């Protein structure tokens, strides 16, 4: 999968850092809404080509405390970019991510679900790739209690 492992670490880190680094009154929503430049190398699994993508990520993070010491996060990310692969093919990439996190009073208890949809479309004869990832983690009392990792990739064109 394109960025799966890095994305998982990013979202877990964002959620935990946000919770540990921000204190807001109970029930107050804190929103982060920014557009950020992105440069990333990803692999087209359909032909093995390494593609350097540059573009923009629109990142929205909404954090709400529940009044009982917990934090609820919604993270939305949209990435759009263009790139050229090491085989000379030109591509456009579009990725939509949605991550929800529920943290119950301490970082020892949390649940997170992440959906990632990525479209890597070539401008020429190189194959396109459409991928979908679903990840779910439940962490309680310092231990992983549940882990779901489902991914599909489809080569088209």
Higher pLDDT among residues 148 and 10, named by residue: 148
pLDDT at position 48 over 90 = yes
Q: Would you call 78 exposed, middle or buried from its count of C-beta atoms within 10 A (0-12, 13-18, 19+)?
A: middle
**In this predicted structure, what is the pLDDT of residue 71?**
86
What total number of domains does the chain contain? 1
Does residue 157 form part of some domain?
A: no
Does residue 37 form part of some domain?
A: yes
**In this predicted structure, what is the pLDDT of residue 97?**
96
* Distance (Å, whole) CA 80 – CA 93: 6
Does residue 85 form part of some domain?
A: yes
Average pLDDT over residues 132-146: 91
* Distance (Å, whole) CA 113 – CA 96: 14
Does residue 156 form part of some domain?
A: no
**In this predicted structure, what is the pLDDT of residue 18?**
47
User: How far is Cα of residue 57 from the mean position of the Cα atoms in its chain?
Assistant: 11
Domain residues for the domain of 12 are: 4-126+137-149
Return mean pLDDT, the chain: 85
pTM of the model: 0.76
Does residue 132 form part of some domain?
A: no
């Amino acid at each position: 999968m394109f960025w799966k492992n890095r994305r998982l670490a990013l979202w877990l880190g964002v959620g935990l850092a946000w919770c540990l680094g921000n204190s807001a009154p109970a029930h107050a929503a804190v929103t982060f809404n920014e557009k950020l430049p992105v440069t990333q190398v990803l692999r087209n699994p359909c032909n093995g080509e390494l593609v350097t993508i540059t573009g923009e990520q629109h990142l929205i993070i909404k954090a709400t405390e529940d009044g009982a010491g917990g934090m609820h996060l919604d993270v939305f990310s949209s990435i759009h970019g263009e790139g050229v692969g090491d085989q000379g093919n030109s591509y456009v990439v579009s990725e939509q991510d949605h991550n929800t996190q529920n943290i119950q009073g301490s970082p020892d208890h949390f649940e997170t679900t992440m959906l990632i949809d990525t479209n890597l479309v070539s401008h020429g004869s190189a194959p396109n790739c459409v991928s979908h990832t679903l990840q779910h983690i439940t962490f309680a009392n310092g231990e992983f209690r549940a882990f779901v990792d489902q991914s599909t990739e489809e080569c088209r064109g």
